[in-house]
Chain A
Amino acid sequence: MNWEALFASAIDGIMLGFIYGLAAMGLSLIFGVMRVINLAHGPIIALGMFSTYLLTTQLGLNPYVGVVLTLMFGLLFGIVMYLVAVHRVINQPELTTLLATFAVSLIIIGLGTAAFTTTPRALDVDVGTLQSGAVTILGTRIIAVLIALAVAGGLYGLLYRTRVGKSIRAVANNRAAAELMGINTTAMLAFSFGLGAALATTAGGLIATLFAFTILAGGSFELKSFVIVVLGGLGNPTGALIGGILLGLLEGVTTIFIPVGWVPVIEYVIFILILLVRPNGLLGARA
């Protein structure tokens, strides 16, 4: 047993887990506020990758400035997407909102494939490495984790320390009552959707600084987000971050013991089992 390799993989997995978690928080937030599962989540992550990529390569910005601008882009995109595609059917059964968001996903994939083709792209970011014994940590990962933590902290502050956050929580709790209390629920729903999309694009931007990607690359992160969200409890953004770290750790550690190909099998089986046994997630307190 090579403890150092295990330790290194665990560290690597946990760091990736923060980014998985950030992406999943977006999915979870949208579900928590309006009971909508955003099937355009993966393509929005991919949009974040391309937004950061284009800002860096075309405008010559620092990639991390690109990530911050990508966050704003995601917020705007989410608000527009909500108003165009989701608001009209927000009170319909799940099938309708699932299909509406899936339609948006098809549009993004279709236009994105036409515009960018499916040739892999990569950002060349080098900020040095941190070394200690057999454990080497890339600087890009450390910065990505710090940004993920800052964004997650910012979201927490927004939801629990501001008036807008209070309104969002009120809308999530009881939309009709919130409306009666004078809250503009449409604005809050659109803003929440924007926040969810912003978390996804930010995660996408950070992933772009770590790995090569195509317009279809969001798909695997979308599926990971589903697994994470179910781990942490649907509609619970804090749970999503913890779920992300758990999944990252699981991925990092299991690859030492079993072939990489079997990891997704384990992930999806866990996903289905948790859905069946604890549909509110391992961390979901309320039944």
Chain B
Amino acid sequence: MNSSQPFAASARLAWRETLIPYVRLIAHPFLGLVLGVILVVALFPIVTNSPTLREEIFLVLMAVILASSVNIIMGYTGYVSFGNIVFFGLGGYVAFFMMLTFHVHLAVAVLAGGIFAALFATLLGIPVLRLRGAYFALATIGINEAVRAFVNNFDPFGGSVGMNFDYSFYDAYGGAKNALWLAYYAIVLVALATVAASFIIKQSKFGLGLMGIREDQDAAQVLGIQPARYKVIAYAISALFPAMAGAVFFFKNGIIEPGPAFSLTASIEGLVAVMLGGFGTVAGPIVGAVVYDRLRSFLLTSGAFSELHVAVAGVLLLLIVLFVPAGLVGELRRRVPWLRKYTE
């Protein structure tokens, strides 16, 4: 009777001790700030009821999701996934197929697409993450191309023509107009979840393990980190969110084809955003994605540069790689030390 008292107390203490770091993490001012900014920006089109603004912010948020996700495997863990778009496409295809064939709701399809891509990444990651450096980067390109070529021939997914919804499909969602708003809310939610996950991973012991692997995998292993397990989990997370974004994006588009779903260029644009903002930071991919997406749409709509926007992106990327390898946020952190407390 007497001995159970301290045991209960210590158990309660242990329980609190394990929980406190997480509470502190979620209550961290930086996370609140970033999520708050995203929410405020996301509210603009809703308040002004502007479909144009909604479409623009949809694309910005999608870029943020893709960049922040690839940053988890590339920035934190040091494994350059050139073909991360494969998960965007797969999530999109699985969700689209389910919505078209089984008429499931968007929310179910998004979750199913995300879980499928995360499982696919887990199974694939076990062998592929054994490769290091350039070999891994090449393998991810090969995986994207293999999946694209496969889907191109896979009749249940419509082969090279892809799949599309009838106009009446959106009736279940109260018409096409309401469906577009629903897609917007969904992408806002996925973006918030991605950024929160990116931050929590960065601050957690798990994230520390990933960064240990990035700096020196063998040393990390000696210190008791299981690189294989850590890397596979990081890879699965970096697959989950792009897949959900893909599900929402192709729901909104009403059509899915292999070319746009598995575009290597879009994949590498995600890496450009990460490099532009700051490799391995939480804010970097967000800043990079916003700047890159805005720059790209500015170039696309300005008459003189519209044809040259790819070349301008190339020049920009080259200048960053050669002269500002830490990216915008990284450079800011380097130059203004007191800002380090407020940026992650």
Contact = CB atoms under 8 A, between A and B. Distances in A.
B is bound to A: yes
Interface of A: 31, 35, 37, 85, 88-89, 92-96, 98-100, 102-111, 113-114, 223, 226-227, 230, 234, 259, 261-262, 264-265, 267-269, 271-272, 275-276, 279
A96 B150 contact: no
B112 interface: no
A224 B310 CA distance: 23
Q: Which 8 A-B pairs have the closest CB atoms?
A: A110-B311, A106-B314, A110-B310, A268-B146, A107-B314, A103-B318, A264-B149, A103-B317
Nearest to A227: B142
A107 B311 contact: yes
B243 to A, nearest CB: 20
B343 interface: no
A98 B134 contact: yes
A46 B155 CA distance: 32
Judged by DSSP, the binding face of A is helix
Contacts of B149: 261-262, 264-265, 267-268
A37 B315 contact: no
Contact of A265 (B134, B153, B314): B153
Judged by DSSP, the binding face of B is helix
A272 B322 contact: no
Given A113-B310, A261-B153, A272 B318 contact: no
Given A272-B146, A276-B128, A109 B134 contact: no
Nearest to B312: A110
A100 B143 contact: no
A275 B318 contact: no
Given A103-B314, A276-B131, A37 B137 contact: yes
A89 B275 CA distance: 15
Contacts of B63: none
Nearest to A265: B149
Nearest to B275: A99
B138 A95 contact: no
B153 A262 contact: yes
B160 interface: yes
B146 A104 contact: no
A94 B134 contact: yes
Interface string B297-334: 00000000001111111110110011001000000000
Nearest to A271: B142
B271 interface: yes
A205 B170 CA distance: 51
Residue of B134, B152, B153, B275 with most chain A CB atoms under a 10 A cut-off: B134
Contacts of A226: 138, 141-142
Contact of A96 (B131, B307, B310, B321): B321
B287 interface: no
Contacts of B315: 103, 107
A31 B133 CA distance: 13
Nearest to B146: A268
B271 A99 contact: yes
Nearest to B134: A94
A272 B143 contact: yes
B43 interface: no
B90 to A, nearest CB: 15
B215 to A, nearest CB: 11
A98 B82 contact: yes
A28 B297 CA distance: 37
Contacts of B308: 110-111, 114
Nearest to A259: B153
Given A95-B74, A265-B146, A279 B321 contact: no
Given A96-B325, A230-B138, A276-B139, 17 more contacts: A85-B322, A95-B74, A98-B134, A99-B317, A99-B321, A104-B318, A106-B313, A110-B307, A113-B307, A226-B142, A234-B135, A261-B153, A265-B150, A268-B145, A272-B128, A272-B139, A275-B139
Contacts of B152: 261, 264
Residue of B141, B142, B152 with most chain A CB atoms under a 10 A cut-off: B142
Contact of A275 (B133, B142, B275, B309): B142
A279 B135 contact: yes
B156 interface: no
B337 interface: no
A241 to B, nearest CB: 19
A276 B311 contact: no
B268 interface: yes
A106 B311 CA distance: 5
Contacts of B153: 259, 261-262, 265
Nearest to A107: B314
